[in-house]
Amino acid sequence: MVRAKNDDSAYVGRFLAVVADGMGGHAGGNVASASTVLDLVHLDHNGHGGSAGTHLADEIQTANSLLSELVATNPQLAGMGTTVTAILLEDRTLQLAHIGDSRAYRLKDGVFEQITTDHTFVQRLIEEGRLRPEEAEVHPHKNVLMRVLGDVDASPELDLREFDAEPGERWLLCSDGLNAVLKDRVVEQVMRESKDIRNCVDTLVDLTLAGGSPDNITIAVVEVIEAEDDDAAPPAVMPPARQAAGERDRPSADAASHGIDDDGLPGTAIRADVIRQDLLTRPHILVGSAALATETGQIPIVTQRSTERRAAMMLT
Q: What's the pLDDT score for residue 281?
A: 80
CA distance 163 to 82: 25
pTM given for the model: 0.84
172, 113 in Cβ contact below 8 A? no
* Domain locations in the chain as residue ranges: 8-116+147-315
224, 168 in Cβ contact below 8 A? yes
C-alpha to C-alpha distances, 182 to 185, 186, 280, 287, nearest whole angstrom: 8, 6, 35, 21
Peptide bond into 240 cis (omega under 30): yes
Q: What's the pLDDT score for residue 294?
A: 85
**35 C-beta neighbours (distance < 10 Å), count:** 30
**81 C-beta neighbours (distance < 10 Å), count:** 29
Question: pLDDT (tens digit, 0 to 9) for every residue of the chain, 316 residues total?
Answer: 345 568 899 999 999 999 999 997 556 899 999 999 999 999 999 889 999 999 999 999 999 999 999 888 888 889 999 999 999 999 899 999 999 999 999 999 999 999 999 999 999 999 999 999 888 888 888 889 999 999 888 999 999 999 999 999 999 999 999 999 999 999 999 999 998 999 999 999 999 999 987 778 999 999 998 876 444 333 222 233 322 223 334 455 677 666 534 444 443 344 467 777 778 888 889 999 999 888 876 666 554 455 555 544 444 3
Q: What's the pLDDT score for residue 262?
A: 40
CA distance 163 to 161: 7
83, 145 in Cβ contact below 8 A? yes
Q: What's the pLDDT score for residue 5?
A: 66
Q: What's the pLDDT score for residue 73?
A: 86
Main-chain dihedrals φ then ψ at residue 144, nearest 5 degrees: -80, 120
Q: What's the pLDDT score for residue 210?
A: 92
CA distance 160 to 54: 9
Pick the CATH number of 8-116+147-315 from 3.60.40.10, 2.60.40.10, 3.40.50.300, 3.40.1190.20: 3.60.40.10
* DSSP conformation letters of the chain: ---SS--EEEEE-SSEEEEEEEESTTTHHHHHHHHHHHHHGGG-SS-STT-HHHHHHHHHHHHHHHHHHHHHH-GGGTT-EE-EEEEEEETTEEEEEEESS-EEEEEETTEEEE-S---BHHHHHHHTTSS-HHHHTT-TTTT-BS--EESS-SSPPPEEEEEE--TT-EEEEE-HHHHTTS-HHHHHHHHHH-SSHHHHHHHHHHHHHHTT-SS-EEEEEEEEEPPPSSPPPPPP--SS------SSSEEEEEEEEE-PPP----S-EE--HHHHHHHHTS--EEEEHHHHHHHTT-EE---HHHHHHHHHHHH-
